[in-house]
Amino acid sequence: MKNIRSILSLVLTVCLLLAGSSALAADAEPMVLSVWCWSPNEDLLTTGAEMYKEADLGNVQLDITVMALADVRTKIATITSSGDLTQLPDVILMQDTSIPMMVRAYGDAFADLSNSGVDTATFDQAKIAWDTYEGKLYGIPFDSSVGVACYRTDYLEQAGYSLQDLTDVTWDDFQSVGAAVLEKTGHPLISTPNDATLISMMLMSAGGSLFNEDGSANLKANEKLNAVIDLYSSLVNAGTVKVVTNWDEYMSSLNAGTSAGTMNGMWIMNSCKDAADQSGLWGVTNLPAVAQIEGASNYASSGGSSWMITSKCENLEGTVAFLTSIMGGSLSDEYYAKILSASNYIAAYLPTAGSAEVYGAEDAFFGNQKVFETLGSFVSHMLACYTSAAYDETQDALMVAVSNILGGADMQSELDAAQDTVDFISGM
């Protein structure tokens, strides 16, 4: 009996100690983090800090300054040129495609997260590639902006097709359906802005890239890119893909019904929803595969954003623990479920992205399709690809070349000129 009492006493003592340590974690002196981000992400991160404290994992106090991405980049440039990095915040939200450029230009401003405990294997690999520069990790993935095809199902039905006829297909299949839709409705199957978005997604889905491993542009001797441009040109010339000249025309093509769909990052679904009278007439699916390239898939990423930690941050370990807990750890499912209605974000953390419990709700606008469950299932298929600090400049140069090629110019000559332009700008 005495032994039993001793054991019970020990168990009670341990429980009290554990309870006490949890209370101390929540009530301890807060870790104050200054943050720069654009709306509505200030509210989303605040939600994460509240959950972190409620779970007795720690007390994080956020001092958030909201500003546009362009202003974030300008302020970083100004501060780093002054040499006083103490003016930086602790944490910065950054567009994925900008991360290599920012690190190359202002490397001393950002913390290397390679050995900070971030389990990169559990995240969207396309995002990890963007968050990495010269073999070092500089970002914690936030949202996964998977590429999505959105179609007007009523237009498909008029041509004798359904959404299933455009799921897990090739671009050749797309062209066949598109020709029928164009004939029956007078509308292209998709409209696309006059930028490199669609070509980049086509190339990425085939395991290709605009860059070499060292970040230099790979335009003039890139067989996969040549195949994609040939395919893109044939689709545009056939009228099944319509290139629009500006943003207003792009939005109008979707909301006024002059196009049967579009392909872009998943954020485009909100733009489709601007036409409330079209509720129930849309569906989403994956991208066509480039049959001309062996091993091509039906999936691509259009980026998203990640959280960078600056070299000014005094508590790197605590900051990483906080961010990874809500975006890639014990609180991830609950966190992304809680912010979904305000953000439409799909987690880059694979276990959460694939969760039917988090993303299983139906969406009436998209014909009661479980759109986020569908999109979440795409994340594990994302392929890593080479990227560069000259990402924007390379895309701009490419589209000048593509525009000229569509006008009848020689492809190789145009790609040679684009390569020379990027090499000159980037110095690589």
Of residues 155 and 101, the one with the higher pLDDT is 155
The pLDDT confidence band at residue 8, using thresholds 50, 70 and 90, is: very low
Res. 24 pLDDT band, cuts 50 70 90: very low
Which residues touch 54 (CB under 8 Å, ≥6 apart)?
26
197: tokens are 């978005």
pLDDT of residue 389: 85
Structure tokens at 141: 């993935």
Percentage of the chain lying above the pLDDT 90 cut: 85
Q: What is the DSSP letter of 85?
A: G
- pLDDT at position 27, please? 55
Give residue 387's pLDDT: 87
Could you give the count of Cα atoms lying within 13 Å of 44 in the half-sphere of its Cβ?
26
- Measuring CA to CA, which residue among 361, 383, 357 is closest to residue 372? 361
pLDDT in tens, 105-155: 999 999 999 999 999 999 999 999 999 999 999 999 999 989 999 999 999
**Fold entry, domain 26-144+304-360:** D-Maltodextrin-Binding Protein; domain 2 (3.40.190)
Q: What percent of the chain has pLDDT over 70?
A: 93
| Fold topology of 146-301+365-426 | D-Maltodextrin-Binding Protein; domain 2 (3.40.190)
Please determine, for residue 63, whether its predicted confidence score (pLDDT) is greater than 80. yes
* Residue-range domain boundaries for the chain: 26-144+304-360, 146-301+365-426
At 372-416, the pLDDT tens digits run 999 999 999 988 888 888 888 999 999 999 999 999 999 999 999
Q: What is the pLDDT of residue 397?
A: 97
Q: Considering the entire predicted model, what is its pTM?
A: 0.87
Q: What is the largest CA-CA distance in the chain?
A: 95
* Phi and psi, residue 264, nearest 5°: -170, -170
| Integer CA distances (angstroms), 107 to 101, 113, 386, in order | 9, 13, 19
β-strand pairing of 140-152 with 282-285: antiparallel
pLDDT digits (tens, 9 = 90+) for 263-316: 999 989 999 999 999 999 999 999 999 999 999 999 999 878 999 999 999 999
Interior angle at CA 390, CA 80 and CA 310, nearest 5: 30
Strands 60-66 and 31-37: parallel
* pLDDT exceeds cutoff 70 at 160: yes
- Does the pLDDT value for residue 56 go beyond 50? yes
Whether the predicted pLDDT of 25 surpasses 60: no
CA distances from 373 to 126, 279, 305, 362, 363 (A): 19, 19, 20, 9, 11
